[in-house]
Amino acid sequence: MTKRTEIRITGFGGQGVVLSGHIIGHACAVNAGMHATMIQSFGPEARGSACSTTLAVSDTEVLYPYIGRPDVFVVMSSEGYEKFGDELKDDGILVYEKDLVKV
């Protein structure tokens, strides 16, 4: 059976959201021998606007890159938590920046 993990990372531009997704995907794909795909979304501003990255990591080729309900949700802004917080699986892992996100 295929093992697939879905990850969403949200925050503001300049916090390393896209870079974090790239590092996690690269670490899984290259170092762990898995497959990963990443989709990024950000506003027109270089810094300070909302941004999001999603990753699908699997032990087989990722044929569908979009995620449904993430297994892991990393949040670095209240806006990201408000927008995507309900998507986290019931038994999912929530990691958040305690000074910027009120849960």
Q: Which tens digits make up the pLDDT trace of 52-95?
A: 999 999 999 999 999 999 999 999 999 999 999 999 999 999 99
Strand-pair partners of 47: none
Cβ–Cβ contacts within 10 Å for residue 96, how many? 20
CA distance 68 to 64: 11
* High-pLDDT (> 90) share of the chain, %: 70
pTM of the model: 0.90
Left, alpha or beta for 80 (phi > 0: left; psi -120 to 50: alpha)?
Answer: alpha
pLDDT for res 29: 80
Residue 46 confidence class, pLDDT cut points 50, 70, 90: low
Residue 45 confidence class, pLDDT cut points 50, 70, 90: low
Half-sphere exposure of 32 (CA within 13 A, CB side): 14
